[in-house]
Structure 1
Amino acid sequence: MYNKLPLNYLLIITTTLSFACSRPIKEEKKNNANASANPVSLHVGDEKYVPIDTKESVVVWRGAMQIGANAHTGYVYFSKGELKVEDNQLIGGTLEVDMNTIEDNKHGKNNGLINHLKNPDFFDVKNFPTATITITAVEPLHTAMMQITGDLTIKGITRPVTFTAQVQIKDGVVNASGKLNIDRTEWGIRYKSGKFLENLADQTISDTLEFDIKVVAKHK
């Protein structure tokens, strides 16, 4: 066992950074009779589903021992996703992370750290190859800052999360970046957690995982 591996990982985002949304709504043409009987059905809204650019989007993960030593940083990448935009404002979205893409900060993909992160002690990638986040609410704060609320799924466990993100939409391109911290034990990742194991001393791994999420979405 690679005993001094700090837990830093995800994604998630992973989070799983499912940002799960409904499928695009197609406007239906109504005749005059239907319009007068049910005028509300005429208004669908300016909703757009913008696919993310998986080459430009990324999650940076960070983790460390409980005492702050042996910190590790790396990357994990999105396999697919879309953001829901209405009247030039972000209102929802679905993002899926490919957990098999976990790598360290030197882009190493096959070493002791990465292999341990993929095994059942951590993300059990063989049985849970994806993580997802579903945006359930977006609340403007100030300037381009938004409060994002969503459901984060890791290892088949779904829990609500809230974090702030900067979101800019211009010329059909969405640029979003935010920082999400989670308690890994809430998603069943208890390896060397001081909450569940005693006498670990300096082998205790911090329960906090940090994710810096960058998402770029644009029409192809």
Structure 2
Amino acid sequence: MKNLKSIALALVVVLSTFSVTAQTKKVDAAKSSINWLAKKVTGQHNGTVNLKDGALVFKGKKLVGGSFTADMTSLTSTDLTGEYLGKLNGHLKSEDFFSTEKFPTATLVFKKIGSKSPNVYTVIADLTIKGITNPVTFDITVAENSATTKFMVDRTKYDIKYGSKSFFESIGDKAIYDEFELNVNLTF
């Protein structure tokens, strides 16, 4: 019996030395993309914002963390050209929307991660835009060297009220919907 306890204790000690340590995988910002889609009553606009940096954290093959910084000064529309592109980009970067001069970055930090199915996780993260932090929830699919997610963001939670019917009832067909979509493709 004493010998069995010694063997069990030795096994516990050996197994504890093989514990899985966290591995941080830096995201390749140049090969990754963040696409946005914003809708209004009379149409929509879409575009991109560049990822400045980011990383996903794994224990073995399990996703356990992540954090990202977006370069808000790179915000641009991809559905317009010329004068209209300049006007929309200028407006999106202004105080009416993202105030990119004052807030040049936005961040996303994973807070809680649950496994939904193999390689698919449900994430609760803190999203900070214009210095305001709110939780967002989304599913992320992780492959060998990539991850993808799509989720909605309510802009009014970040003090972006321009054209919102929630704040300006008589705006009519000039209303811009409160939520915009982010479609993120990460390569690491």
TM over 0.5: yes
Residue by residue, what CA displacement relative to the aligned partner does 1:182-206 show, whole Å, maximum 9, x if unpaired? Answer: 1110111000111111211101111
User: In structure 2, do the counterparts of structure 1 residues 58 and 108 end up closer, same or farther at CA, with 3 Å as the change threshold?
Assistant: farther
Q: Is 2:69 the counterpart of 1:84?
A: no
Q: How does 1:186-205 map to 2 (within 5 A)?
A: 186-205=157-176
AA in 2 matched with 1:167: V
Q: TM-score, normalised by structure 2?
A: 0.85
AA in 2 matched with 1:161: V
For residue 43 of structure 2, the aligned residue among 41, 63, 70 is: 70
Query: Is the Cα contact below 8 Å between 1:98 and 1:129 reproduced in 2?
Result: yes
For residue 207 of structure 1, the aligned residue among 158, 169, 178 is: 178
Q: Is 2:134 the counterpart of 1:134?
A: no
Return 5+ residue gaps in structure 2 as ranges: 1-12
User: In structure 2, do the counterparts of structure 1 residues 111 and 208 end up closer, same or farther at CA, with 3 Å as the change threshold?
Assistant: same
AA in 1 matched with 2:122: Q
CA shift for structure 1 position 44: 6.2
Q: Is 2:129 the counterpart of 1:158?
A: no
Greater helix share, structure number: 2
Report SS of the residue matched to 2:49. Answer: strand
Residue by residue, what CA displacement relative to the aligned partner does 1:62-102 show, whole Å, maximum 9, x if unpaired? Answer: 0111x2x2211101111111111111121101100000111
Q: Is 2:148 the counterpart of 1:177?
A: yes
Q: Is 2:94 the counterpart of 1:123?
A: no
Q: How many residues align?
A: 174
Query: Is the Cα contact below 8 Å between 2:45 and 2:79 reproduced in 1?
Result: no
Q: CA RMSD in A?
A: 2.2
Partners of 1:92 and 1:44 in 2: CA distance: 18
Larger radius of gyration, structure 1 or 2? 2
Residue by residue, what CA displacement relative to the aligned partner does 1:102-149 show, whole Å, maximum 9, x if unpaired? Answer: 122258696111110000000000000000000112211123221111
CA shift for structure 1 position 45: 3.1
Partner of 1:45: 20
User: In structure 2, do the counterparts of structure 1 residues 202 and 166 end up closer, same or farther at CA, with 3 Å as the change threshold?
Assistant: same
